[in-house]
Amino acid sequence: MDYYIKGARIVNEGTAFSGSVLIANGLIKGVYQEGETPDSGDAVVIDAGGRLLLPGVIDEHVHFREPGMTHKADIRTESRAAVAGGVTSFMDMPNTLPQTTTRDLVSRKMDIAAEKSLANFSFYIGATNENIAEIEQADFSDICGIKLFMGSSTGNMLVNDGAVLERLFRNAPCIIAAHCEDEDIISENTLKFKELVAKGMATPDVLIHPKIRTEEACYRSSAKAVELAAKNGARLHVMHISTARELELFDNTVPLKDKKITAETCPHYLVFSEEDYKTRGFGIKCNPAIKTAADKEALQRALGTGKIDTIGTDHAPHLRDEKFTNDYFTSKSGFPSIQNSLCLMLEMERRGFVSLPRIAELMSHNPATLYRIDKRGFIREGYHADLVLVETGCENVIGDAGIFYKCGWTPYSGVTVHSRVTHTFVNGNLVYENGNFFEDWRGEKLEFCR
């Protein structure tokens, strides 16, 4: 089915203007300024009524838990939540069961997604201390990148062999997406707090999380990754930046297309600070830890400077009883967030930290450019029609009742936003409209221009 979206405020490639978009055969057939009236033929007309029309969000950082942990989440449920939030493409991490560390295991995940996902998809291959030869032989035309854990997190895929790291950064055929936390610092701090708890001198609550996974742990590991990338000419994307100090490592004087070392942050580092542990508790425990108010404010200010290149969610669901254990050492790190990311970023615009065109860059244009995705991420003639319509000027309180995650809860419960996604198109197909899903369609495998 073809669509003609008229009367929209189109946000795309550095500008926002009134206009319309014609979708035909899954592609954008034309983009028109206000006053231009193309022949829309038999296309279904959608009157946007002044709502925002943005390129679909590309979330390059999710954990959809399939295979192996589908009691928490699976590709069908989380892709539904994704499109409800305006996310039309996702890139899924390798710390599943089994861990996605071979070409064959990546292919198996592709097959699952082709059957179940409402959104477009790709998957990382995970680096280990043993599989560098496998990575060097992989075909990265449909694998989004290499995930490197330089600090242990859920799944414990830590790569800590110096020779392996050197070889990976020297020979990586595509982007390396790195989780950067120094394992020695974290281990030392963990041992210290376990001893204090055993002596009754500390309480095993979430307040100790940023004291274990500290600013220094993040900075030291990120600095090491940047040094390795610079030395070997590798393309490095440091994920989930959580501190002001790490921003010093990144350059904002070079156009994104020419950058080799880039940075991502996540909405939770822009919305929460360590003060929120007192009220939200284990619900906002994640790795790296949410840190100080000063870190949050620095990251907010950095959104418009070019120091931050992309926004990913690190969507990582756990069941309530895995999170809210009242024991720091057993509570799982990570939480769901993909359904709310776009509206949370629009709150950053409302508060003056970032412009609407910059949001489109951070969430759509830049992931497409950085990962070299073929014909997605922009509202351009001939590109895949991955689009989202957003109503603004409406007040909505995020709550568990309105989310579609399999785990059934959100850490953003009670947070007020002033926008809502009304329509999401994936490959020209209307897959979501005002709370309703159209599941006759499936997303497509992302293709990359290497």
Model confidence band, residue 141 (pLDDT cutoffs 50, 70, 90): very high
Q: Per-residue DSSP letters for 232-292?
A: HT--EEE-----TGGGGG--SSS-GGG-SEEEEE-HHHHH--GGGHHHHGGGG--SSPP--
pLDDT-derived band at 136 (thresholds 50, 70, 90) equals very high
How much is the pLDDT for 157?
81
- The answer for residues whose C-beta is within 8 angstroms of residue 10's C-beta and 6 or more apart is 16, 17, 18, 19, 21, 31, 53, 379
Is residue 156 over pLDDT 80?
no
CATH number corresponding to 59-190+220-325+334-371: 3.20.20.140
pLDDT tens digits for 400-438?
Answer: 999 999 999 999 999 999 999 999 999 999 999 999 999
Handedness of CA 259, 260, 266, 271 (dihedral sign): negative
Q: Model confidence over 77-111: pLDDT tens digits?
A: 999 999 999 999 999 999 999 999 999 999 999 99
What does the buried/exposed string (b/e) look like for 380-419 if buried means 16 or more CB atoms within 10 Å of the residue's CB?
eeebbbbbbbbbbeeeeebeeeebbbbbebbbbeebebeb
Confidence of residue 121 (pLDDT cuts 50, 70, 90): very high
User: What pLDDT is stored for residue 69 in this prediction?
Assistant: 98
Q: Which amino acid is at 409?
A: W
Residue 153 has pLDDT above 70, yes or no: no
For residue 37, name the pLDDT band (cuts at 50, 70, 90): confident
Alpha-carbon span 413 to 403, nearest angstrom: 10
Tell me how far apart the 2 most distant CA atoms of the chain are, in Å.
76
Strand partners, 361: none
- Amino acid letter at 47? D
pLDDT at 268 over 70: yes
> What is the radius of gyration, based on Cα positions, of the chain?
21
Same fold, 3-53+382-398+415-437 and 59-190+220-325+334-371: no
CATH code of the domain made up of 3-53+382-398+415-437: 2.30.40.10
Going by C-alpha positions, the residue among 57, 177, 195 that lies closest to residue 127 is: 177
**DSSP element (H, E) containing 295:** helix 293-302
Q: Give kind and range of the element (H or E) at residue 76.
A: helix 75-84
Q: Is the pLDDT of residue 155 over 60?
A: no
What are the C-alpha distances in Å from 39 to residues 9, 22, 35, 262, 338?
20, 9, 13, 42, 36
Residue pair 38/5 in contact by the 8 Å Cβ criterion: no
Beta bridge partners of 299: none
Alpha-carbon distance values, 242 to 250, 290, 333, 351 (Å): 13, 7, 15, 20
Q: How is the chain split into domains, by residue range?
A: 3-53+382-398+415-437, 59-190+220-325+334-371
pLDDT digits over 201-256, tens only? 999 999 999 999 999 999 999 999 999 999 999 999 999 999 999 999 999 999 99
pLDDT band for position 154 (cuts 50, 70, 90): low
Strand order in the sheet with 261-265: 125-126, 146-149, 176-179, 236-238, 261-265, 310-311
Joined tokens for residue 104: 């064959």
Q: Answer yes or no: is pLDDT of 389 > 90.
A: yes
Other C-beta atoms closer than 10 Å to the C-beta of 269 total 25
